[in-house]
Structure 1
């Protein structure tokens, strides 16, 4: 069936054949023009440096991973903007390397109940629409089944992973809810929209700091883990990138959430609340810190992935009408500050984003205590994929 679908496509649109079948279409030495927009400069840099999407962040082997999902989501948006086949081909190459001929994700175990595994599924909706390759739809169903069986806290929130019982992590909202919303609206007549709104309600009620209006990274409903506040169950630190994940989760969920649904305005309210709060904690230059609420903390630093995610969410929220136009102006100013602070352009026009936070988490072995010091002591690196993807998305949203 797969072959016959594309034989038909050959007759109708020969260019699609090159796009979907010729991996060599992605040249490893794409010329980066000085006149190109920041979004395309970033994408071409990524194509040149990482011919396979899974190679980003120094990975040595292919893996189904949320970072690749985030990066390729940004490529999908760029493809939709430019209609340039090399961006779609980059996405498809990753999907085809990770999904076997029977439609199973390689080395995927549902029973790990790792909510991060859901995020890459977003790239398959569009691939299936274009190709009608049933392998992609089969994976969509697999990931939806994972969410159906995902363990939950007593209040109904998704556990982040099987190994983190009773815990909601703020980045888990981004990993699951945009996919969950698109799936239930596309295939289930929206039957799970209330459940999706419930996940955000739990964040609002339990992960949002009452003083700052910002969100903590984690919440243990049982309050048993050592890092948990004994009264609230929250982790100790308000992480800049965590705020970014949450704001992006809201704007991307709202892309598919029906305006007619009673919870639509509630979600917009959550976005307005976090946006109003986060503006109060930007630096004088318009950027955000690793420990977002403590700019004066010794060793704290302005962090690019957090800043780019927030810029993107503010710009998109304003463009969609969820936020007022003033937020778009703030995003534009912060984007310019981002370039001055973090972006270094190489001799060939390649983009480098400096000083990106490493991945962080809580618990595990060795135990991560989630203190402010833990978040600021990790070794930063250049060109971390969350910063590259978020910068690309923010540039697209601002038409830069």
Structure 2
């Protein structure tokens, strides 16, 4: 990247940081629409992870100080967040806990160490399908979503490495393997957003249990889950390590078939120029980030990096606005899911109809993560420098 682009993107990262605190995060549009105080949520977790990765890439203390201050407001001294109830038992609630590992290493604050234990104990209590996968949420029984793999598996692997003697490695590997078995489409190589083992959800195919469509951000969640889990996995477990690496590359090759000439990808991946479909920022950024990190960690050949740069530049050219006061990033699907009170059916028309917004954390976080990787593009360690920290 040229110095002007680096400066522009740095201003963007700083502007959101300067306008955010734990009670009013500028990037969390869902929370800002609600009257109550900000609560523990995965969007903030993704953004804090992005700022820690910018810290790793630039060495600028402001990113570490901001992350520590923000998380410090959300976490009590015993390692638990306030206002987290039994109803919050979900994989989404696990996601922010991944930042405890680098924060503990970098600050030495004991509450981050206690937080690791707290969320590990919650994770292992989440109910599972008959094949052993965590339910996405208590309110979605028997359901596995691709989102959930990103929310839980990197944290699960980090904890296993540090404090649990690697005894659950095969559990983690098996959960990925079941997802490949149940949710991968043999024809395209893409993955369906959700799977209902009971086949009772309104969106679930009665034969396969899968949702109807290939949602871009779901593919991105899975790719990031694979890359970040591999980053902290002990390569000595050869079979499991190579199995996840193969799954990552297989999915990536399938997704890249659908890359648009702009470099970006469509909201419903395989439907291109269909009416209502559009080039979407968050999923495109997730793919770019996953490729760049995987190349840096020697999980992919260097030639893949060019496709990631095309994706990132596509976002820059189409959706990044460098205003004089508050730069903005558009083209972000605000939220999408399956079932629930809204009876979301997972069809392409449903995904096309969700609001498209600016500066939403689900798009901003992977965009900044990809930016951080581009800043480190010349790094080529034999072993990941920050493998233990997950940065």
TM-score computed with the length of structure 1 as normaliser = 0.88
Pick aligned residue for 2:107 from 131, 134, 150: 131
Pick aligned residue for 1:250 from 223, 226, 238: 226
The residue matched to 1:56 in structure 2 has which SS?
A: coil
Equivalents in 1 of 2:6, 2:296: separation in Å? 23
Do 2:8 and 2:322's aligned partners in 1 also have CA atoms closer than 8 Å? Answer: no
Equivalents in 1 of 2:124, 2:142: separation in Å? 16
Matches within 5 A, 1:1-400: 34=4, 36-37=6-7, 39-52=9-22, 54-58=25-29, 59-60=31-32, 61-110=37-86, 112-261=88-237, 262-348=239-325, 350-399=326-375
Do 2:335 and 2:355's aligned partners in 1 also have CA atoms closer than 8 Å? Answer: no
Following TM superposition, the consecutive aligned residue runs of length 4 or more in structure 1 with deviations greater than 6 angstroms are none
Do 1:289 and 1:300's aligned partners in 2 also have CA atoms closer than 8 Å? Answer: yes
Structure 1 equivalent of residue 381 of structure 2? none
Structure 1 equivalent of residue 389 of structure 2? none
Offset of residue 70 of structure 1: 0.5
Equivalents in 1 of 2:223, 2:11: separation in Å? 25
Q: Deviations over 1:344-384 (max 9, x none)?
A: 11024x43111211211111113111111110011211111
**Structure 2: 5+ residue stretches without partners:** 378-391
The residue matched to 2:28 in structure 1 has which SS?
A: helix
Equivalents in 2 of 1:315, 1:150: separation in Å? 32
Offset of residue 332 of structure 1: 1.4
Q: Which shifted more, 65-74 or 83-92?
A: 83-92
Offset of residue 398 of structure 1: 1.6
Do 1:42 and 1:388's aligned partners in 2 also have CA atoms closer than 8 Å? Answer: no
Offset of residue 229 of structure 1: 0.6
The residue matched to 2:195 in structure 1 has which SS?
A: strand
Larger Rg: 1
Q: Deviations over 1:136-171 (max 9, x none)?
A: 222211110112111000110110000000000000
Aligned CA RMSD, in angstroms, stands at 1.7
Q: Deviations over 1:177-206 (max 9, x none)?
A: 000001110111211111111111011111
**Structure 1: 5+ residue stretches without partners:** 1-32
Q: Deviations over 1:294-329 (max 9, x none)?
A: 113210000000100101111111221111122111
